[in-house]
Amino acid sequence: MLLAIDVGNTNITLGLYEGKSLKGHFRLTTKIPRTSDEYGTMISDLIERQGMKVSGITGVIIASVVPGVMHSLTSSIVKYFKQEPLIVGPGTKTGIKVATKNPREIGSDRIVDAVAAYELYGGPVLVLDYGTATTYDLVTKEGHFVAGITAPGIRISANALSEGAAKLPEIEIVKPDSILAQDTVTSMQAGLMYGQIGQTEYIIKQVKKESGYDDLKVVATGGLGRTIYDETDMIDEYNMDLTLEGLRIIYDKNRQ
């Protein structure tokens, strides 16, 4: 089995693959400092609770945008799983050519998403990831990563409102029934959710206009991606496991 690990700014997402089949996935909080033993015992326990054996892990791949956790995490993989993990970074075979001005600036998570979207849906494709940040990444028909747009994520925006304005509370991030809000909480929810939908539609429209790709496929992922997908007809596909799929694809390319 392959253990695929995506280290994001908010969560560490782990997936267990048997061939191309995702057999289980689970999450840990990124921001809690942990030792290698804590990572090792927690991940081992979660795998066992999925009804699988730690001894069945034959490969591990990691993509991370949080350097501070990598020493403890990689040490735990070596110690508890007896595997040397493949770390996605410069030199890793991906099948995607990064054709931006500074390829090393592109986060590994965005590369992984781009690989999955291109392999699963073809190009040209625009990949939307609704995570800590909301990102929009363009991959051409030839598999070239040519542009990326980065905006504050919905949760970051919500936190900024409640922390920056004394009278604005912390809120649940849901879309209200109407944009015509009549109280503080729903007015914040309306601004955040309808604003995100509007931003999404405008950016997709502008990318199509400037790239000339009228046949552009639009694929979304990320925790709040489903909500936005349900509210617009400009997103073609939603794939909750896009990043894990990308990790599996990259692992297979490098193993071959």
Q: Do 24 and 2 meet the contact criterion of CB atoms below 8 Å apart?
A: no
Catalytic residue numbers, as ranges = 109
Same fold, 2-87 and 97-247: yes
Confidence of residue 256 (pLDDT cuts 50, 70, 90): low
The domain spans of the chain are 2-87, 97-247
CATH of domain 2-87: 3.30.420.40
Mean pLDDT of the chain: 94
pTM of the model: 0.92
Which pLDDT does position 161 carry in this prediction? 87
Q: What is the pLDDT of residues 158-215, one digit of tens each?
A: 989 888 887 888 888 889 999 999 999 999 999 999 999 999 999 999 999 999 999 9
Return d(Cα 89, Cα 243) in angstroms, integer: 15
Report the chain's C-alpha Rg in angstroms.
19
CATH of domain 97-247: 3.30.420.40
Confidence of residue 129 (pLDDT cuts 50, 70, 90): very high
223 three-class SS = coil
Report which of 182, 189, 127, 179 is spatially closest to residue 157, judged by C-alpha positions.
189
Q: Do 37 and 69 meet the contact criterion of CB atoms below 8 Å apart?
A: no
Return d(Cα 217, Cα 116) in angstroms, integer: 13
Which residues, other chains included, contact 33 with Cβ-Cβ below 8 Å and sequence gap of 6+? none
What share of the chain in percent tops pLDDT 70? Answer: 100
